[in-house]
Amino acid sequence: MFLRRYTRMVAGKRLTYYALVESVRTDARVRQRVIAHLGELTHDQERRWQRTVVFHNRQGEARQLQLFADEESVPLPDDPNVVRIKLDSVGWTNARSFGDVWLARWLWRYLTLDAIVERHVPPGKHTVRPADVLAIEVINRLCAPCSEFALAEHWYASTGLPDLLGVSDAVLTKDRLYRMLDALLQAQEGIENDLKDQWGLLFDVDYDLLLYDLTSTYFEGLAEDNDLAERGYSRDHRSDCQQIVLALVVTRDGFPLAHFSLPGNTQDGDTVATLVTAVEKRFGKSRRVWVMDRGMISKKNLAFLAKAERRYLIALRRSALAQFHRQLMEGGWQRLPDNEEVEVKALARGRLTYLLARSLPRRRKERAIRRRQLLQLSAGLKKLQRRIAQGRLKNRDKMLEALGRLKGKYPKAARLLQQPSLPKQPRGLTWKWNVAKIKTVLAHDGAYLLRTNQPGWSATELWETYMQLTVVEKAFRVLKSELLLRPVWHHYSGRTQAHVFICVLAYALWKTLDYLLKRAGLQTQIHKPDPSRPQASPKPRPMTPEVALRELRKIQIGDIVLETTEGQQLVLRRVARPDAEQSRILKALQLEIPERLSPDRVL
């Protein structure tokens, strides 16, 4: 049996119909008999029946089995290239997620990481290439981050990576993954250096401006044998846990140039000289501009950055605004052309340039926080005053303790409070607000003070360059939230550093995909709002790597099982066809997902 296509012109429109036809050999000739008229078929239905099957006959010769026939080519009933399928036994089994890991594997090869890893990680006596093991760990971190145990036991077998890499899930064990972590540290510097060269070739990335910042993350467990686990300041508000500090250097486009894993009690300012020297040793000295936040500021660091023709742009602490109070109150401000809510003013001081900036959104935020604390502190003081007046609190030391708790609870408001009057034999409580200090902090709200020794930059260029530090902050958010850098479960410092490096390599793939999506101008699909609900039409936004990977994850690879009338079972390993949204993403990236990766089988 086969499908025959009929075309007919109706009212000037070409219509296509299909019929199920059977070929019957008679003494005179071959005749066709229509078994059923199927009417119109959709494009997907037609393509489903146009697929071909390759199988081996008893002599082992590969033959093509035709499932679809045109009007011009009618197969004979005993044609060895024709297979007859039982339609009620067609099945789909062994389905695995494919699209996201296929894209991640493409990004891995696009950055030539296979060759880079082979150059820096010795193969040793491994039965599986170290580049393949590392690719599995990085792709997992990008697509569905989990522990090494979960990766080996569950995740790897549920994806199409075994088809892509040819690495059986039976040989991928957690011990093999841990051995990869142990061998990875020695290759970190070489891999990062080669990646930097590759980005320069692919995207013409420049390294004349480097963004440097630090973050911290925390350990789960005691981590007693981990040299990096120390008590320190937690950016994740987990001061109850031991910490590790991550220092990251990225380009103005967000590509990670270098990273360093440091003990959790490392102070921000103590890292500047060491890390800048390490980066210059690896990538050479040049007139790069280092951009840093106010946590790095100190006289020692400023003196270091001013040497050897280094250039820097650094934010000063809020206390330094007092030296420019008069300039803050005077005119001469200019609004940014692309952001009317920000005003800037450049001030030359010898070879240095200071930039004053005022951000209206930041001012609103700071004033709202202070106003809330002022009201709460005022209410607390009045309550304490009533307790003293009613005689419920007679001990002066207890009164001071209650007052201290209030000031500690509302620190921003307590700075504006003059020392309350509490005599030795108190019968009440009186306080005053420091009006002069309130006026000063109101003038400083939303204000920034930057310092640079880079000549020739305008006030707008200085502010826009400093704001590029948000690129590093976004990198930290991606590392922590999307790639699950936190929490750290490893008990040994070497594996902790390797875990951080795996996350940074996954971020390298993430950033490459982000760059390609932006270059293609791809935007998220806007769904039509419900006409019964009046609302503003949403604006299209650039598509993020998270959305692209989530959409492509729906593309699966699996086995199509076909049973022939002769009792054979044909297994076709196929990749599901992408839908409209997935095709739009692939087309924008100029990629074409394969239809199959392995030959078909006959059971």
463 and 440 together in one domain: no
290 and 334 together in one domain: no
**What is the side-by-side order of every strand in the sheet holding 569-575?**
91-97, 556-563, 569-575, 601-602
77 cis-preceded (ω within 30 degrees of 0): no
350 and 420 together in one domain: yes
361 and 286 together in one domain: no
Please measure the distance between the N-terminal and C-terminal CA atoms of the chain and give it in whole angstroms.
22
349 and 272 together in one domain: no
Among 82, 113, 145, the domain-final residue is: 82
Which residues, 6+ apart, have CB-to-CB distance to 77 below 8 Å? 22, 23, 24, 25, 30
Instruction: Decide if 209 is inside a domain.
Output: yes
Residue 526 confidence (pLDDT): 63
Per-residue pLDDT reduced to its tens digit, 190-224: 999 999 999 999 998 888 899 999 999 999 988 88
How many structural domains does the chain have? 3
Among 425, 452, 479, the domain-final residue is: 452
Does this model's pTM top 0.75? My answer is yes
Q: In whole angstroms, what is the distance from residue 486 CA to residue 505 CA?
A: 15
477 and 403 together in one domain: no
Q: Please name which of 191, 190, 104 lies closest in space to residue 145, comparing C-alpha atoms.
A: 104
Instruction: Decide if 49 is inside a domain.
Output: yes
286 and 328 together in one domain: no
Helices 545-552, 99-110: axis angle to 10 degrees equals 130
Among 51, 82, 113, the domain-final residue is: 82
347 and 430 together in one domain: yes
Instruction: Decide if 361 is inside a domain.
Output: yes
Instruction: Decide if 603 is inside a domain.
Output: no
* Most confident of the following: 136-140, 387-391, 440-444, 559-563: 136-140
Residue 63 confidence (pLDDT): 41
Residue 518 has pLDDT above 90, yes or no: yes
Secondary structure (DSSP) of 95-143: EEE-HHHHHHHHHHHHTTHHHHHHHHS--TT-SS-HHHHHHHHHHHHHH
258 and 360 together in one domain: no
Instruction: Decide the pairing of beta strands 2-10 and 13-25.
Output: antiparallel
Per-residue pLDDT reduced to its tens digit, 18-36: 666 767 767 667 677 766 5
Instruction: Decide if 586 is inside a domain.
Output: no
Per-residue pLDDT reduced to its tens digit, 32-84: 776 655 566 665 555 554 443 333 333 344 344 444 444 445 554 555 556 77
Residue 360 has pLDDT above 70, yes or no: yes
Per-residue pLDDT reduced to its tens digit, 304-337: 998 878 899 999 998 899 899 889 888 889 998 8
Residue 335's domain spans which residues? 322-452
460 and 444 together in one domain: no
CATH number of the domain at 219, please.
3.30.420
393 and 331 together in one domain: yes
Instruction: Decide if 529 is inside a domain.
Output: no
Per-residue pLDDT reduced to its tens digit, 404-459: 899 899 998 888 888 776 666 667 778 888 888 888 888 899 999 999 999 889 99
Instruction: Decide if 62 is inside a domain.
Output: yes
The three-state DSSP-derived secondary structure of 304-353 is HHCCCCCEEEEECCHHHHHHHHHHHHCCCCEEECCEEEEEEEEEEECCEE
